């Protein structure tokens, strides 16, 4: 019982946030946005600890990608393109770290606006986009220019609610990749992107965690890992036959529902 009272988040809340992270990290719906909104619905105080917790449990989702795609990281051509795509996001994220954590993370109105606008953008894009026969279907053969461009698109997701996967997937489609190729590249690009974000935040904020908090983090990590394993495989099957319109509609409806709850 003593451990329970030394934590600022109980195991139930940690598990719920871990499930939300695993469900939403690789879908174009914004995991950060959902974590912020669900945290508000659960009544968890909006503290620096919560912000760090929401970033840190991304490591569970990263672990799922590594387990499923470890062979891809042994391919030098793929790894080089992943690292090149990571550079723009790393530079922009590091430069804006303090601004993001102070003013954007935890701001439910920013999240709701980004969720809704991102949903509309997905719907409009899918109505206009036609995949060309010459679209790149092999990550190891994509150009470095494409990799940099996708990294720049991904960096838009420093705004909570935008969706890292959604931004990188749309960027890849615009730059001439096939759906399955850009979805897989988005998974791989998440490893250095989220790994760096988690490491940076834990380095700057590790003093916020007590021993009890570490147990909550472990619960969030494990649940995020298990759920992400399932979601990654589902999403790959989904994009082979479906468009992203349903995710766009979901984002708009989710923004409306969350707005009603928060009001």
The one-character DSSP state at 74 is G
Paired tokens of 254: 């989710």
**Span 72-99, pLDDT tens digits:** 999 999 999 999 999 998 898 888 877 7
- Residue 151 DSSP SS3: helix
pLDDT of 21 strictly over 50: yes
CA distance 59 to 197: 10
Domain ranges of the chain: 10-262
> Which pTM does this prediction carry?
0.88
- Position 49 scores a pLDDT of 79
Nearest one of 183, 192, 176 to 82, comparing CA atoms: 192
Give the phi and the psi of residue 261 in degrees, each rounded to 5: -65, -45
Nearest to 160 by CA among 125, 120, 110: 110
Distances, alpha carbon 140 to alpha carbons 72, 79, 101, 105, 182, in Å: 9, 8, 35, 35, 12
pLDDT digits (tens, 9 = 90+) for 121-164: 999 999 998 888 789 999 999 999 999 999 999 999 888 889 99
């Amino acid at each position: 019982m003593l451990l329970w009272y030394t934590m600022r988040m109980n195991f139930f809340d940690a598990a719920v946030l871990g499930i939300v992270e695993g469900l939403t990290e690789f879908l174009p719906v914004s995991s950060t946005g959902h974590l912020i909104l669900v945290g508000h619905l659960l009544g968890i105080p909006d503290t620096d600890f919560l912000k760090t917790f929401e970033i840190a449990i991304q490591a569970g989702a990263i672990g799922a990608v590594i387990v499923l795609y470890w062979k891809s990281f042994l391919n030098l051509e793929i790894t080089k393109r992943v690292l090149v795509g990571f550079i723009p996001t790393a530079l922009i994220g590091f430069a804006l770290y303090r601004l993001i954590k102070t003013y954007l993370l935890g701001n439910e109105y920013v999240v709701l606006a980004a969720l809704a606008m991102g949903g509309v953008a997905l719907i409009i894009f899918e109505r206009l986009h036609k995949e060309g026969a010459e679209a790149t279907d092999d990550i190891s053969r994509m150009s470095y220019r494409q990799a940099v461009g996708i990294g720049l698109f991904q960096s838009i997701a420093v705004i909570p609610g935008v969706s890292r996967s959604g931004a990188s997937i749309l960027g890849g489609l615009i730059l001439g990749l096939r759906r399955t190729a850009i979805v897989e590249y988005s998974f791989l690009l998440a490893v250095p992107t989220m790994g760096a974000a988690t490491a940076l935040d834990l380095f700057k904020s590790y003093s916020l965690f007590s021993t009890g908090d570490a147990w909550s983090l472990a619960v969030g990590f494990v649940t995020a890992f298990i759920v992400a394993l399932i979601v990654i495989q589902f999403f790959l099957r989904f994009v082979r036959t479906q468009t992203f319109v349903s995710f766009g509609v979901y984002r708009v409806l989710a923004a409306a529902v969350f707005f009603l709850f928060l009001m």
